[in-house]
Structures are given as C-alpha cells and as structure tokens.
Amino acid sequence: MKRFAFKMYLKPGMEEEYKKRHAQLWPEMKAMLEEKGVHNYSIYWDKDTNILFGYQEVHGEASSQDGDIPEINRKWWEFMAPLMEVNADNSPVTIDLPEMFHLD
C-alpha cells in the first residue's frame, strides 16, 4: 500500500457545488476507484487559499491521478472542470506533495 497526497485548485465561490457533486459521487466513479485499489481517499479545502488537499491510499504503485485513465474518469473531469483549475484535457491541475513524515 502506498500513500499519496496532492493539491488542486478550486475556483473562488465553487466550494458548495464542489462539495455537492462529491456528495453525489457517481457509482461508476466509485467502482473505478475501488478497481484501481484506491481507498481511504479524502479531500480537504483550505478556504484561505482555495487549495484542495487530496490524500489517498492505494494498493499498487499509482495514484488515481496516474496511469491509464478510464473513460468514466474523463467524464468526471469534464463534469468538474467548471469548478477547478484544469489542464487542456480537463484533468485537474494537481501538484504531488512528497511525504516528509509519517507515524503509524
């Protein structure tokens, strides 16, 4: 199991819609994450900077942001693009955060 942390950028004023859409996460999206071995996935919001902090644990070597991207993930990116800073392919702009300390 590997732990991954990353940050993303929420557009100003989009926090309620972002929270609402994640509260209604598509079953196909949830299934895809489970198939990729993603669990213990959380996203936090820093309201002072509009930075989203993502954390996930994955059985395998790649986070949900890496590797072969299933079609359902691309549809989710398109659905979320109006709320976030995104790349040309609608994937969220993400910056990996290296682990500096861990205590079990």
Q: Which long-range contacts (CB under 8 A, 24 or more apart) does 89-92 make?
A: 91/65, 92/8, 92/9, 92/65
Residue numbers annotated as active site: 22
Q: How far apart (Å, rounded) are the C-alpha atoms in residues 4 and 24?
A: 23
Q: How far apart (Å, rounded) are the C-alpha atoms in residues 17 and 82?
A: 10
Total residues belonging to the chain: 104
